[in-house]
Each structure stands twice: as structure tokens, then as C-alpha cells.
């Protein structure tokens, strides 16, 4: 395996110097400084070269993976050069941490300061005095700080040694954390002093992001130092997320087997962080949630708790971890699909910074993709286009059967030739390979015919001979190549083309809408085809999680019997047909879920399932209990006790309270407030009350939310619908633009009137 210090030539960068000959100035100084000041006995990776480059006054660009030791590349020169270095860093929350680290090396706290909007006037004055007097060698600033004229004037009046721009990928919208203020840095630096050298540093940069950085920061013929992005010690695995219950169970199990080891779980939204943390806590795991909605004191406390190991697991939105310097994080779990490969790389990169074990597990469901798309819905079109491209790249990474490392490295523009990395799920369980020489030739012929002007999807449509409107528009159905790959399906061509991209037989131009282009290697291959073995992609079929939010909240704690669950669903379908009712009126999905977990074989036992009351058990329960009894008998089922996961304790008994207050026609907002529930949680409770057979007359509340016609429309819809999903209902009723609460409350009314 390549190690972290290997130099890689990167395609598409302007003026990349293959061999950089940097004059060694101050060489005596820098070795002793490394020892005396920082206490390290040798440089890591390409630190030394980068430091010389900066000391010689060159613009310098350092690309090293997380934990590679980028900070030293500017900290050490700052100590040597006359004046104070300005370090631009994106997150105010982490500046203090960084300053503390620098101060830790020095006897004098004045050596480093930060200047940002969190300081008061007196503090600002003190910082300025230290800078003016020359005591301060490193000044950390937020990009916003540099946009203030008074600060610029101040910086013009003192001796500055150089600019360092940390997390430089923030300058590019193709990176994983675009910060528009970064775009103005060049302008600001020019105003302070055009002549000063600039050092840019980042841990993640695809070739595209790299060239954005060089361009937007206006780096002048920079010396570029790139280390390999491979992280030898990280293990990558991707698992389908089929049932949320099961996913949570396997996470709890994993963490329980890794007692005392620190880890991060990333999720997409705040609510999930809290729910997951709650479940972990219920299972004796020291966990906390972390997200931008918490106040800063609480966030700082939780971050500290994690650093000093009072907290084992932090369940966080991606807001957490940027710049976190905890070397011994042993696992990073993605509960949702990250929005780009860069995000994934950056987030998993926080594991194993000390070079020891680091497990990276991602749970993936198709639903995550729509969630990510949903998150972008309000963004401007160009941003959505970029976002969609990034998601589609991530998807291909997730679904691939090829070595994960190979795909990651390829994404970062590195070559990766190792047959089996030995540290990813696909390499540990390699799939059989299929010869695809003839098909590869077909692909190349099509791409040639299309002259590199069309994307993956279009190319596949030509191969499969599909007459889409755009194909017809270009008259491509007349091409001799049209339909030459009919005998194979879309998945096959997808797998093949992605692997041809990995092998450089083709190239995808992400900047240009993902057009598929020819490469010299592809040209050669077409002339003289050789064996081309591919693995067919995991399709992750069925990786479609049920509704995550409610499932996590209503978590029953143990794994569902998938087979039984399907049988119960079928039975419900049959009964529904017989009774002329929508299936969910009979039992909710959550009830079936419980049945497939608890195996109730009598009506009394059936009542223990969520959403099944006496009335319901009597009315609909019999065939279900019979089916389960037979299933239990046939399959010799005993209650599984290998690993029992505790679920979250039911939040008090709200039910009686709710029933009484609805009787009194108390506004729902008030009920919710009194019980410390959100409206959606209240409705959830109400639905489970109604589902178990108690009537709630909600008309007083409904009349406030919807007029009569609207109510009729929704009831009509529910009468004929196939699924109880509110998402589907919203789509089907899109023209009316009903919100979730409106549909939910009508579904409750419907259940009440038709189900009981
Ligand atoms: P990055 O910013 O690239 O993610 P940091 O600058 O935070 O990485 O450094 C990561 C870790 O490596 C820190 O704990 C740092 O003290 C350590 N480190 C940096 N340079 C060296 C070196 N030459 N020898 C040993 N450890 C080093
Ligand atoms: Mg850093
Ligand atoms: Zn591998």
C-alpha cells in the first residue's frame, strides 16, 4: 500500500512542478526549531519542503490528509520570520483550540492570539498591542475579520510575515464546505500587502477543487506539495439500511463490542442525533448529541466531554468535528449517506489519526438520496446542479463492488493499482469477476459516436436502445451504435462504465455536467482490446429504509423478523381488500413491525403491540394471531435472546391527558405545550391512541386547519390510497400543497371514522 508521504502527480493543475527544487534556507534553524520548539525529532511527509518554500517567500500550497501535520507548515515559519503571520481559519469555535495548541508549545501566551467577533473591545485592544509590539507571531482570524476596514488598516500598520489560509477548500463550491467569504481573501490580502507570500492548506481537494484554490486565492506559481490521500489504517464498509430498527440494533451492538473506544456517528438532521443518542444511553453507552441547534456552551461542554473521554460516542450532524484534534477516534459511523465523497472522506478521516485502527461504516438507503436532494431544494439552480453531481458520485461509490479505496483515490486524482487493499468490505469479500471485453468495446464505440458530448445516462440509453425524447431530438436512434448493448440492462452498463472510468479508459468531466469523454488509453484499447474483468455492482436492492424519524422514536428495540413481517403485510393487504378498507386502517406498519418482533399468538398478546388496542385486536386480530402461531410453530421460533437492545423509555403517560383534553376541545398547540411535545409528536401520539381503538373527535381542531372541501379531498384520497405514507399523499395531492400536519390529522380522523 502506498503510504502517506508518497508524492502524486495531479492531473489538471496549472503549473504543477513535478520536482520542486526548493532552496534550503534557514536549514539549521528549522531543524533545531522543530526540536526545541515543537519537540518533534523529524519532519512528517513533505513538511520540510513546504516550510522551505514558504521561508523562501514562495506561494505554497499544501495538500495533506487530515492528521498529516499541516499546521506545522505555517507555525514553524511564523516562529522564525520577522513579524506576525495571519492565519485565516473558517470556524470561530475552533480558533481558541488552535491558539491553545500553539501556546502549549511556548512559554509566552502572547505568542498566539485570535481576532474575531467573539472578542470585546478591551480584548481586541490587548491583542493589537501584542501584535504591534512584535510579541505575537501567529494571529488567527476569521475570513470576516479581514473584511473589516479597521482591521485592514491595522494590519497595514504592522509587520506581517505571511498569510496562511487553512481549510482552503472552503473557497470552492466543489469542495465540501463552501464559504463565500473565502472568495474575497485575495482582495483583502492585496490591500494589506501584495508582496507577502501565501500558504494555502487543505486536507481534501479533488483536482477540480485544487485548481479553484489556486485560481481564487490568486496563488502565484505556487509550489505544490501533495501527499497521498490514502489512509492505510482505515477500514471502509458500507451496509444497506433496510430496516431502521435493525440498523440501530447493529450500531448498538457494534459499539457495545467496542467498549471504551471513542467514535462519532454522523446523521443528517438534529432530531435523529438526539433520538440515536437517547437509544445509546438507554443501552449504557455514554453518548451525547451534537448539532448546531444547541447553544454554544452546551456544544463546547459536549465537545470537551468527548475530548476527555467522559463521553464515548458523539452523535452529530456534520457540524461536528471540523478541526477536532482527537487522535484516537476508533470508529466513524455514517447513519445517513454523506452529500459528497469529499464529505465522506473528511468525516471518516477523523478516525485513526494516530495511525492505529479506524473503522468507517456507512449505512445507506435510497431514501437518503431523496433526503439530500430535498435539502437542496431552496438553493439556487447552479448550486443544486453541483450538489446533484456530487450526490451521484457518492452513490456510485456506495454502490460499487470495486475496492472502496480505489474509488476514493481515483476521486482525488490518484492512481491506485493495488489489486486487493485488504481493508474494505469489497476486498475482504471479493465478488466474482466477469469478462466484459466485448461490452467495453461497445461502450467505447458509443462514446466515440457521441463525440464526448453526452453524459453517462445518455450513453447508457443509446447502448440499451431507448428512444428517449432527447435521443430522438438528436436523431441518435439512427446511429448504427443505437441499441448495440440491448442484451444487457442499465445496471450492467452502469457498473461497466464506472469501472472503465476507474481504469482511465474513459474520463468524466465533472466540470462540464459529467460528460463522458475518450482518453488516450481508451483509444488504444479500442484498437487492441484485451481482457477486461469487472465485478458487477451491489445493487443494494431493498435498501430503502422505512421512515427513519418515527421508526427511531417508536423503536421497539429488537430486530424484526423480515419474513414474518412480509407475510403479515400480505395478510393485511388481503383483509383490507375483503373489507374494502385501506390496509393501514387495519393495522399500522409499526404494529406489524411489533408483531414480527414479539410473536404474539393470542389476542391478549396482540394488544401489547403498538397501536393495537382491545377493539382492534377483537375486530381484526384473529387471522393475524393465527398466522403468527403457525409461523412460530413451523419455524421452531424461540424468543431471540442473543442480544436484547433496550428501547427508549416511553415518555410518560400522555395518552389519558390527551384524550381528556381533546374532549374539552383544548387547542392542540396548548396540549402539546403542556406536555412538552412538538405538534408532530402530539399527532403521533394521537394516531397511536386512535389506532388502538379509542375515538378522538378532532373536528374542532381540523376545522381550524382545513375548510370543508379540503377535508373532503383528503378523505377521498385516503379512501382510495394504496399506502398510508404521508409522503406519497403529499405527492399525490401536490396541487393543494397540504402540509404534513394537515395530512396527518386527516389520516387520524379517517382512521377514527373508518377503522373503528
Ligand atoms: P492537519 O492540520 O494536517 O490535520 P495537524 O497539524 O493538526 O494536522 O497535526 C496532526 C498531528 O500531528 C498533531 O497532533 C501534531 O502535533 C502532529 N505532528 C505534526 N507534525 C509532526 C511531526 N513532524 N512529528 C510528529 N508529529 C507531528
Ligand atoms: Mg489542520
Ligand atoms: Zn479495497
Any domain includes 154 = yes
Mean pLDDT of the chain: 85
- The answer to whether residue 261 sits within a structural domain is yes
Looking at the fold, whether 292 and 402 belong to one and the same domain comes out as: yes
Q: Hey, whose CA ends up nearest to atom 13 of ligand 1?
A: 69
List the beta bridge partners of residue 141.
Answer: 88, 115
Counting ligands in written order, which one lies closest to the CA of residue 87? 2
Whole-number Å distance between alpha carbons of 151 and 749: 61
Ligand 1 contact via 66 beta carbon (within 6 Å): yes
Residue 204 Cβ < 6 Å to ligand 1: no
Least confident of 69-73, 200-204, 352-356, 508-512: 508-512
Give per-residue pLDDT as tens, 20-50: 455 555 555 888 888 888 888 889 889 999 9
Task: Give the Cα-Cα-Cα angle 536, 540, 546 (nearest 5 degrees).
Answer: 170
Q: Residue 641: pLDDT band by 50, 70, 90 thresholds?
A: very low
CA nearest neighbour of 560 among 283, 275, 245, 242: 245
Both 220 and 271 in a single domain? no
Arithmetic mean of pLDDT, 467-490: 93
User: What share of the chain has pLDDT > 90, as a percent?
Assistant: 40
Give the C-alpha separation, 299 to 460, whole Å: 48
Question: Does residue 147 sit in the same domain as residue 97?
Answer: yes
* Res 733 pLDDT > 70: yes
| 502 in the same domain as 367 | no
Could you tell me the distance, in angstroms and rounded to a whole number, from the CA of residue 414 to the centre of ligand 3? 15
With cut-offs at 50, 70 and 90, classify the pLDDT of residue 528.
very high
Residue 647 confidence (pLDDT) = 60
Range of the domain at 734: 649-755
Q: Is 303 a residue whose pLDDT tops 60? A: yes
Q: Is 647 in the pocket of ligand 1 (CB under 6 A)?
A: no
Q: Which triple of cell numbers denotes residue 55?
A: 521561508
CATH (domain of 116) = 3.40.50.300
Q: Give dist(CA 535, CA 540) in Å, integer.
A: 14
pLDDT band at 556 (very low <50, low <70, confident <90, very high): very low
The answer to whether position 579 is within a domain reads yes
Q: Could you tell me the end-to-end alpha-carbon distance of the chain, in angstroms, rounded to an integer?
A: 65
Same domain, 625 and 667: no
Task: Using the mean position of ligand 2's atoms as its centre, give its distance from the Cα of residue 66 in Å.
Answer: 7
Q: Answer yes or no: is pLDDT of 546 > 80.
A: no
Res 555 pLDDT > 60: no
Ligand 1 pocket member 323 (CB < 6 A): no
Q: Coil, strand or helix: which one is 392?
A: helix
For residue 429, the CA-to-ligand 3 centroid distance in Å is: 9
Residue 53 contacts by C-beta under 8 Å, 6 or more apart in sequence?
Answer: 20, 22, 60, 223, 225
Strand pairing class (433-435; 533-535): antiparallel
Q: Which ligand is nearest to the CA of 227?
A: 1
Q: Which of 226, 259, 281 is the last residue of a domain?
A: 226
Q: Which residues, other chains included, contact 696 with Cβ-Cβ below 8 Å and sequence gap of 6+? A: 658, 659, 662, 686, 689, 690, 748, 752
Residue 1 maps to a domain: no
- Is residue 37 in contact with ligand 1, taking CB distance under 6 Å? no
Ligand nearest to the CA of 168: 2
Whether pLDDT at 603 is above 90: no
pLDDT at 418: 86
Residue where the block lists cell 410453530: 633
Average pLDDT over residues 293-310: 87
Of the residues 634, 669, 684, which one is the last residue of a structural domain? Answer: 634
Regarding whether 655 and 590 lie in a shared domain, the answer is no
- Inter-residue contact 80 to 33 (CB < 8 Å): yes
Written as nine digits, the cell of 431 is 465478488
Whether 619 lines ligand 1, by a CB cut-off of 6 Å, is no
Confidence of residue 698 (pLDDT cuts 50, 70, 90): very high
Residues 730-752 as b or e (16 or more Cβ within 10 Å = b): beebeeeebeebbbbbbbbbbbb
Same domain, 626 and 500: no
Per the structure, how many domains does the chain have?
5
Of 337, 388, 390, give the one whose Cα is nearest residue 366.
337
On the question of pLDDT at 16 being above 50, the answer is no
Q: How far apart are CA 210 and CA 219, in angstroms?
A: 11
Domain shared by 315 and 368, yes or no:
yes
Number of alpha helices (DSSP H) and beta strands (DSSP E) in the chain: 34, 17
Whose Cα sits closest to atom 18 in ligand 1?
A: 69
With respect to residue 187, please indicate whether it lies within any of the assigned structural domains: yes
CA 10 to chain centre: 26
Between residues 444 and 13, which one has the greater pLDDT?
Answer: 444
Read off the pLDDT of each residue in 416-444 and give the average, rounded to a whole number.
91
Question: For position 639, what pLDDT does the model report?
Answer: 54
Closest Cα to atom 15 of ligand 1: 69
Whether 43 lines ligand 1, by a CB cut-off of 6 Å, is: yes
What DSSP state is assigned to residue 7? Answer: B
pLDDT band at 7 (very low <50, low <70, confident <90, very high): very low
44 lines ligand 1 (CB under 6 A): yes
In a domain, 404, yes or no: yes
Ligand 1: residue whose CA is nearest its atom 5: 69
CATH code at position 511 = 1.10.10.10
The 3-state secondary structure of 208-276 reads: HHHHHHHHHCCCCCCEEEEECCCCCCEEEEEEECCCHHHHHHHHHHHHHHCCCCEEEEECCCHHHHHHH
Residue 263 domain-assigned (yes or no): yes
Q: Which of 216-230, 240-254, 313-327, 717-731 has the highest mean pLDDT?
A: 216-230
Among the residue ranges 77-86, 105-114, 622-631, 686-695, the one predicted with the least confidence is 686-695
Q: Considering the domain boundaries, does residue 164 fall inside one?
A: yes
Given 506, 535, 564, the domain boundary residue is: 535
pLDDT digits (tens, 9 = 90+) for 124-140: 999 999 999 999 999 99
Strand 515-518 and strand 506-509: the pairing is: antiparallel
**Nearest-CA residue for atom 23 of ligand 1:** 43
**For the domain that residue 680 is a member of, what is the CATH number?**
1.10.10.1390
User: Which range in 53-67, 322-336, 378-392 is most confidently predicted, on average pLDDT?
Assistant: 53-67
| Same-domain pairing of 204 and 267 | no
Answer yes or no: do 595 and 661 share one domain: no
Over the Cα atoms of the chain, what is R_g? 30
**Domain co-membership, 264 together with 397:** yes
How many whole angstroms separate alpha carbon 494 and alpha carbon 443? 11
Q: pLDDT band at 83, cuts 50/70/90?
A: very high
Work out the average pLDDT over 329-342: 93
Q: Do 91 and 111 belong together in one domain?
A: yes
Q: What is the spatial order of strands in the sheet that 160-165 belongs to? A: 112-115, 138-141, 84-88, 160-165, 198-202, 60-63, 223-226
Looking at the CA of 326, name the nearest ligand. 1
Closest ligand 1 atom number to CA of residue 34: 23
Amino acid at each position: 500500500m502506498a503510504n502517506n508521504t508518497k508524492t502524486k502527480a495531479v492531473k489538471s493543475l496549472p503549473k504543477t512542478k513535478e520536482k520542486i527544487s526548493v532552496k534550503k534556507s534557514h536549514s539549521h534553524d528549522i531543524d533545531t526549531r522543530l526540536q526545541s520548539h515543537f519537540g518533534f525529532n523529524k519532519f512528517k511527509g513533505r513538511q520540510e519542503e513546504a516550510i522551505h518554500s514558504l521561508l523562501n517567500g514562495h506561494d505554497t500550497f499544501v495538500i495533506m490528509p487530515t492528521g498529516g501535520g499541516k499546521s506545522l507548515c505555517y507555525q514553524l515559519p511564523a516562529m522564525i520570520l520577522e513579524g506576525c503571520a495571519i492565519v485565516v481559519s473558517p470556524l470561530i469555535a475552533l480558533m481558541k483550540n488552535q491558539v491553545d495548541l500553539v501556546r502549549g508549545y511556548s512559554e509566552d501566551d502572547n505568542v498566539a492570539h485570535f481576532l474575531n467577533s467573539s472578542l470585546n473591545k478591551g480584548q481586541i485592544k490587548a491583542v493589537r498591542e501584542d501584535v504591534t509590539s512584535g510579541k505575537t507571531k501567529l494571529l488567527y482570524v476569521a475570513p470576516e475579520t479581514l473584511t473589516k476596514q479597521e482591521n485592514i488598516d491595522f494590519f497595514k500598520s504592522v509587520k506581517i510575515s505571511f498569510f496562511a489560509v487553512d481549510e482552503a477548500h472552503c473557497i470552492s463550491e466543489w469542495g465540501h464546505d463552501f464559504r463565500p467569504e473565502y472568495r474575497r481573501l485575495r482582495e483583502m490580502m492585496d490591500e494589506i500587502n501584495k508582496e507577502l507570500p501565501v500558504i494555502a492548506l487543505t486536507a481534501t481537494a479533488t483536482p477540480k477543487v485544487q485548481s479553484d484554490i489556486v485560481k481564487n486565492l490568486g496563488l502565484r506559481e505556487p509550489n505544490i506539495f501533495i501527499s497521498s490521500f490514502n489512509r492505510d489504517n482505515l477500514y471502509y464498509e458500507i451496509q444497506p439500511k433496510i430496516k431502521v430498527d435493525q440498523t440501530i440494533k447493529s450500531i448498538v451492538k457494534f459499539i457495545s463490542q467496542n467498549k471504551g473506544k471513542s467514535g462519532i456517528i454522523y446523521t443528517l438532521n438534529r432530531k435523529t442525533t438526539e433520538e440515536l443518542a437517547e437509544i445509546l444511553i438507554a443501552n449504557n453507552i455514554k453518548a451525547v448529541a451534537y448539532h448546531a441547534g444547541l447553544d454554544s456552551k452546551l456544544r463546547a461542554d459536549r465537545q470537551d466531554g468527548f475530548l476527555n473521554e467522559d463521553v464515548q460516542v458523539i452523535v452529530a450532524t456534520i457540524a461536528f468535528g471540523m478541526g477536532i484534534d482527537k487522535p484516537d477516534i476508533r470508529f466513524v459511523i455514517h447513519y445517513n449517506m454523506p452529500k459528497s465523497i469529499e464529505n465522506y472522506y473528511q468525516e471518516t478521516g477523523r478516525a485513526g489519526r494516530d495511525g492505529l485502527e479506524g473503522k468507517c461504516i456507512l449505512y445507506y438507503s435510497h431514501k437518503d438520496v431523496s433526503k439530500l436532494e430535498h435539502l437542496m431544494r431552496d438553493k439556487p439552480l447552479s448550486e443544486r446542479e453541483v450538489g446533484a453531481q456530487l450526490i451521484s458520485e457518492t452513490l456510485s461509490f456506495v454502490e460499487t463492488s470495486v475496492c472502496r479505496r480505489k474509488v476514493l483515490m481515483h476521486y482525488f486524482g490518484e492512481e491506485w493499482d493495488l489489486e486487493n487493499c485488504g481493508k474494505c468490505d469489497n476486498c475482504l469479500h471479493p465478488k466474482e469477476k466477469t469478462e466484459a471485453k466485448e461490452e467495453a468495446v461497445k461502450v467505447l464505440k458509443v462514446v466515440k459516436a457521441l463525440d464526448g458530448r453526452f453524459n453517462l445516462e445518455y450513453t447508457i440509453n443509446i447502448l440499451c436502445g431507448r428512444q428517449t425524447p432527447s435521443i430522438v431530438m438528436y436523431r441518435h436512434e439512427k446511429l448504427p451504435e443505437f441499441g448495440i448493448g440491448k442484451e444487457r440492462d442499465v445496471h450492467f452498463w452502469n457498473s461497466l462504465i464506472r469501472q472503465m472510468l476507474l481504469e482511465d479508459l474513459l474520463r468524466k468531466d465533472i466540470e462540464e455536467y459529467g460528460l463522458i469523454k475518450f482518453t488516450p488509453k481508451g483509444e488504444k484499447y479500442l484498437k487492441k482490446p484485451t481482457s477486461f474483468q469487472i465485478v458487477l455492482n451491489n445493487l443494494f436492492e431493498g435498501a430503502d429504509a422505512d421512515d427513519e424519524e418515527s421508526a427511531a422514536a417508536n423503536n421497539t428495540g429488537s430486530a424484526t423478523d423480515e419474513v414474518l413481517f412480509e407475510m403479515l403485510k400480505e395478510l393485511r393487504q388481503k383483509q383490507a381488500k375483503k373489507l374494502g378498507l385501506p390496509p393501514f386502517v387495519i393495522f399500522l406498519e409499526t404494529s406489524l413491525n411489533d408483531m414480527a418482533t414479539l410473536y404474539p399468538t393470542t389476542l391478549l398478546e396482540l394488544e401489547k403491540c403498538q397501536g393495537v388496542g382491545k377493539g382492534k385486536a377483537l375486530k381484526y386480530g384473529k387471522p393475524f394471531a393465527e398466522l403468527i402461531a403457525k409461523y412460530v410453530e413451523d419455524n421452531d421460533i424461540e424468543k431471540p435472546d442473543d442480544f436484547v437492545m433496550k428501547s427508549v423509555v416511553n415518555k410518560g403517560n400522555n395518552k389519558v391527558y390527551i384524550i381528556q383534553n381533546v374532549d374539552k376541545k383544548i387547542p392542540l398547540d396548548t396540549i402539546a405545550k403542556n406536555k412538552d411535545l412538538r405538534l408532530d409528536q402530539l399527532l403521533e401520539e394521537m394516531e397511536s391512541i386512535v389506532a388502538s381503538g379509542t375515538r378522538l373527535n378532532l373536528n374542532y381542531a381540523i376545522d381550524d386547519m382545513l375548510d370543508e372541501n379540503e377535508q373532503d379531498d383528503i378523505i377521498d384520497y385516503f379512501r382510495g390510497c394504496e399506502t398510508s405514507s404521508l409522503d406519497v399523499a403529499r405527492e399525490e395531492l401536490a396541487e393543494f400543497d397540504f402540509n404534513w400536519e394537515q395530512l396527518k390529522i386527516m389520516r387520524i380522523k379517517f382512521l377514527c371514522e373508518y377503522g373503528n
